[in-house]
Amino acid sequence: MHTAQNLIKGYRRKRVIVCLLVAVVTLLLTFGLRFISQRDLNQHQIDAYARHTVESLDKILLPLAGKQHELTRLVGQPCERVHLPIRKQAAALQTLRSIALVKSGILYCSSVFGERDVVLRQRQPSLPDPQPQLLLSTDQSLIKGSPILIQWYPASQDGEDGVMLTINIHLLSSLLLEPQKPQIERVIVSVGNRFYSESQGISDTLQLTGDEDVETRRSMLFPFSISVTTPGAAMLALEELPAQAPLAVILALLLSAVAWIATAGRMSFTREIALGIERREFELYCQPQLDTRTGQCCGVEILLRWNNPRLGRISPDVFIPVAERENFIAPLTRYVLSETVRQIGYFPPNPQFHISINVASSHFLHGVLLRDVSQYWFAARPQQQLVLEITERDDLQGVDYPLVRELHRKGVRLAIDDFGTGNSALSWLEQLHPDILKIDKSFTNAIGTDAVNSTVTDIIIALGQRLNIELIAEGVETPQQAHYLRRHGVPVLQGYLYAKPMPLAEFPRWLAGGSLPPKEHNGRVVPVIL
């Protein structure tokens, strides 16, 4: 009784630790995910604001650029003839403050003042210029000292003739440059080496405080950029994080309760598995695989069954997931390897005959699988080809890729089981470099019935053939399915059409053409993923 009580206390202590870990991890994940989500949302809003501002200013400047040729044709004509047309143009382009015509460096006609005689370089030292220019400057004639945006278009090769468009930057500020707090604190227009913001006006340096982040986006159409200053997407997300505390606490309590309930019947199940291995309660079955080109059996897949004398027959769908969750899948795989080698005499001693054993991705960690294969398989020097199947539904992060390369070097073939049913098929192909793809029975069953899955089946077949990877179709149950797969070039088939899973001792009789083994006592046989 004392020992039993200690075991119960031990399991309870483990469950409490698990529940506390679940609560802590839930809190950390909730805060972490909410922080990342809010940070990304803030960054998206900042980027969207900067992009929208650039696009809006582009839309203001594009109509002015479109009038370039029409206005430059007016340069040199008498002001009394062109004054009215340029006034109409200035009125139509509402963001303009004025249009000025320049001849030989002299501003001789203005849409606001009419006829003038002003040396342009005295007002704007960088003009005239033989190249089109976009400038930030200050007004020297209408509202002196006010910030303006100048667009200059030359009308002669030497640049002494041209059109100067003055844009009302105060109007732009009210339309485009309003900050949107808390994400956007200031909006700065940069043209050349000059900067304008509503709070600081025009300056030759970008003036920043120490706690401001700057996001800049350049126009692809005109020589300007928009910079926005922010407290930072991460800082804004941190400020909003305390509001997520109630949700995080509720999730932590809920998942801790779920963990407490879920661990009630599983904390001791690994003991049953260990006892079953020790007493050899697990029995090996095999399912033949047929080569469609020769019609001969070219290999088998090893499956595992458990008739527990204490609990009765236990489905692989029950003990395999529990073993995986409780990190007990590696001992089961060692058992399968050792039992397969012990009963290797039931299979043809032919290097062309392969024996497939399912493994979990977690078994690849730290070279454990390589040591086990070397100890249980290579040490026995079997003549048959070893194939290790890893299901695509497993976690790819558990795979030790140097170990994969070493297995390939030793002649072990790798197969991806249930291909196409997981979330990362292409990633598996890229990182595992498998020798075999096993088409899942769900796709095989869909042949002739389900248009979507049939299309996926064709894609998997084409992918395997394109990459020169051998294909095996599981779950073949009808001649129509077999015919379809053979016609599409799948070389190896496996399923009830040819044979149900059978004890290893029954395989030689099946191979010799004898009667098929009897059905299992509990009905339908369910394939096992080890």
What is the pLDDT confidence band of residue 235, given thresholds at 50, 70 and 90? confident
User: Rounded distance, CA 224 to CA 212, Å?
Assistant: 21
CB count, 10 Å around CB of 284?
20
What is the pLDDT confidence band of residue 11, given thresholds at 50, 70 and 90? low
Q: What is the mean pLDDT of residues 285-311?
A: 90
What is the pLDDT confidence band of residue 392, given thresholds at 50, 70 and 90? low
Place of tokens 């192909």: 429
State what percent of residues in the chain have pLDDT above 90: 30
- CATH architecture of the domain with range 283-511: Alpha-Beta Barrel (3.20)
Please tell me the predicted confidence (pLDDT) of residue 520: 41
Computed over every residue of the chain, the mean pLDDT equals 82
State what percent of residues in the chain have pLDDT above 70: 86
pLDDT digits 0-9 by tens, 411-462: 999 998 888 776 555 666 777 788 999 998 988 888 877 666 678 888 889 9
User: Rounded distance, CA 14 to CA 25, Å?
Assistant: 16
List, in order, residues 6 or more apart from 376 with CB less than 8 Å away.
Answer: 334, 337, 338, 341
| Beta strand extents in 39-104 (DSSP E only) | 96-103
Listed by start position, the domains of the chain span 1-255, 283-511
Q: How far is CA 468 from the centre of its chain?
A: 27
Please tell me the predicted confidence (pLDDT) of residue 5: 39
pLDDT digits 0-9 by tens, 78-125: 999 999 988 988 888 777 888 999 999 999 999 888 898 889 898 888
Please tell me the predicted confidence (pLDDT) of residue 175: 58
Flag whether the pTM goes above 0.85: no
Q: Which residues of 422-440 are buried (b: 16+ CB within 10 A; e: fewer)?
A: beebeebbeebebbbbbbb
